[in-house]
Amino acid sequence: MGETVTARVLRVLAAFSADRPELALTELSRRAELPLTTTHRLVRELTQWGALERAEDGRYRVGLRLWEVGALAPRGLGLRESAMPFLEDLYEVTKQNVQLAVLDGAEVVYLERLSGRGAVKIITRIGGRLPLHATGVGLVLLAHADAELQEQVLAAPLKRYTAKTICGPDVLRRALADVRRTGVAISDGQIELITLSVAAPVRGRRGEVVAALSVVVPAETSDARAYVPVVRAAARGISRALGAPDPVSR
């Protein structure tokens, strides 16, 4: 059986990325690996519905209608609304990058990020993805994930971003055990050498870890221990707002 129309539409949408947010029709056709005539028809229908928008120069970008639908995802909507007061409080205390993320497959997806003018520059963005092994929030989520996913990540090649990135399965396994023992993850220079992340788990109604919260600060001038209490407090606050049972993990 041939490829469905739905699969082709998804290939068109997947052609867009953070580094290529706007694409000409020919680029869309090439990146989606679809004939130009097919791409033109699908793009026209997506634009009419509002999933795509056409710029003045003829290039296409993701439309607001698609963002509107995506914002209704229950894991993002209710969680983000419950978390925002605590994220804002944490930002006011630290004046650095504050992030909320969830697990999706073997990656982290960032639901929210607050950042001040004087905060250290980071590569993460709302809706962006990063691997689990190299981020503070990722280490938290992986440490509390099911054993099958943990073994899957441990068995796969671990991408190196800097000289400090955890790339050995045995080292990663010990790091995950430390996260479960201490209740926090500290990721120092793993994605970028200039950043240090302190993260803690956010729990849901059954006590399960549903998200992770982090603050990202300058690695050279920051003491991770100084941020642990405020990150834990914010994560506990969100957990209580979500109906997590007491006591939540440290």
The pLDDT of residue 249 is 44
CA angle centred on 200, ends 197 and 201, rounded to 5°: 140
With bands split at pLDDT 50, 70 and 90, how would you rate the model's confidence at 248? very low
Please indicate, yes or no, whether residues 54 and 90 belong to a single structural domain of this protein.
no
CA angle centred on 201, ends 100 and 195, rounded to 5°: 55
Task: Please list, in sequence order, all residues whose beta carbon lies within 8 angstroms of the beta carbon of residue 75, skipping any fewer than 6 positions away.
Answer: 102, 210
CATH number at residue 23: 1.10.10.10
Q: pLDDT tens for residues 12-43?
A: 998 988 778 899 999 999 999 999 999 999 99
Residue 146 lies in a domain: yes
Q: pLDDT tens for residues 202-236?
A: 999 899 999 999 999 999 888 999 999 999 999 99
Strands (E), 132-218: 185-188, 195-203, 209-218
Q: Of 42, 63, 84, at which residue does a domain stop? A: 63
Q: How far is CA 249 from the centre of its chain?
A: 22
One-letter amino acid of 204: G
With bands split at pLDDT 50, 70 and 90, how would you rate the model's confidence at 166? very high
Residue 21 lies in domain: 5-63
For residue 126, pLDDT over 90 is answered with no
Residue 135 to residue 162: CA distance in whole angstroms: 12
Residue 247 lies in a domain: no
